[in-house]
């Protein structure tokens, strides 16, 4: 069985390989369960032209595929940096057991990866005043779909 330190070292090595191979930013992620490596990911945003290809998202997708589940209960996530809001949301939705990080968002900002503006936007209650304004459109129709979901007897809860 591998230790937490070994899993974090692997995540850091993945980040280093990503930098050296120009795959994406300097971020790596490892997901483990019961002391075994389940999946790993490296930031591939620039090499895949996919803004969601953060190391954590890549690793989560691979882990879910391997476990044949959209839940990562009992899994430990080792990320080289504090996850951005998108990745943190995915980690919470996955129901992972624990998250370990090597660096925090301040360290990332010092290296040129500052997502403070996203955190600020998410805390803004004025949807129309955000950097990317949000407008509500066809709310009643959207609510009807939620009603359909609530009445669905065979829904898969998450």
Give the dihedral sign, CA 84/67/30/15.
Answer: negative
Does residue 97 carry a catalytic annotation? no
Contact between 26 and 75 (Cβ < 8 Å): no
Please tell me which residue in 13, 40, 56, 65 is annotated as part of the active site: 56
Closest-CA residue to 106 (of 98, 96, 121, 116): 116
Q: How far apart are CA 17 and CA 115, in angstroms?
A: 23
Characterize 12-45 residue by residue with b for buried, 16 or more Cβ atoms within 10 angstroms of its Cβ, and e for exposed: bebbeebbeeebbbbbbbbbbbeeeebbbbbbbb
Give bridge partners of residue 40 from the DSSP assignment.
30
Contact between 83 and 99 (Cβ < 8 Å): yes
Residues known to be catalytic: 56
């Amino acid at each position: 069985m591998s230790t937490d330190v070994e899993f974090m070292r692997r995540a850091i090595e993945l980040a280093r390989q990503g930098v050296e191979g120009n795959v994406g930013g300097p971020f790596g992620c490892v997901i483990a369960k019961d002391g075994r490596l389940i999946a790993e990911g490296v930031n591939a945003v620039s090499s895949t032209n996919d803004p969601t290809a953060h190391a954590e998202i890549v690793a989560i997708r691979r882990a879910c595929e391997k476990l044949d589940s959209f839940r990562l209960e009992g899994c430990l996530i080792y990320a080289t940096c504090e996850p951005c809001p998108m990745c943190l949301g995915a980690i919470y939705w996955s129901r992972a057991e624990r998250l370990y990080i090597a660096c925090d968002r301040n360290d990332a900002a010092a290296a040129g990866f500052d997502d403070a503006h996203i955190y600020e936007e998410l805390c803004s209650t004025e949807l129309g005043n955000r950097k990317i304004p949000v407008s509500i459109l066809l709310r009643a129709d959207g609510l009807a779909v939620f009603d359909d979901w609530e009445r669905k007897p065979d829904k898969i809860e998450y």
